[in-house]
Structure 1
């Protein structure tokens, strides 16, 4: 296996991880932004006000799109396992 093939696998792995983790991270980012604006406008500086909604959104998204996320990771792992016999060439 040459360095170009290894870099190709690394590129695939990074894109797959971005697609899997992206929706949850973007949702948490948006919730955090909305809560920060709310805290600035109302001058409420409660720490749990920022963490609890983020955890609720993350939990809901993991339940809602978790099967898709696991399917994507499983598909990537399966393709890598199927490529093992061809790496010796």
Structure 2
């Protein structure tokens, strides 16, 4: 019984990393790129990098949103359909 809950928790954590990875990586790449450009040009404008990160994250969410939602809904369906078996 405990193995079922441990494996479900493990799958949930893996899914969380898998789904949150693309937006975080997009923000990381844009942030690092703009930080290097700002350091080279000596522009110290904070709103420039923040606006670019927001646009990048929303772009990734727009492009990969269906994929993310399908993985989350598939996991939720499996958890909710198997839950009655686990409590008996």
TM-score (normalizing by structure 2): 0.93
Note the residue ranges of structure 2 that are not aligned, 5 or more in a row: none
1:81 counterpart residue number: 80
- Per-residue CA deviations over 1:21-45 (Å, capped at 9, x if unaligned) read 1111111100000001011111110
1:22 counterpart residue number: 21
Note the residue ranges of structure 1 that are not aligned, 5 or more in a row: none
CA distance in 2: counterparts of 1:45 and 1:7, whole angstroms: 47
Shift of 1:86: 1.2
How many residues align? The count is: 88
2:60 counterpart residue number: 61
- Per-residue CA deviations over 1:41-87 (Å, capped at 9, x if unaligned) read 11110011110110111111111111111111000000001111210
1:40 counterpart residue number: 39
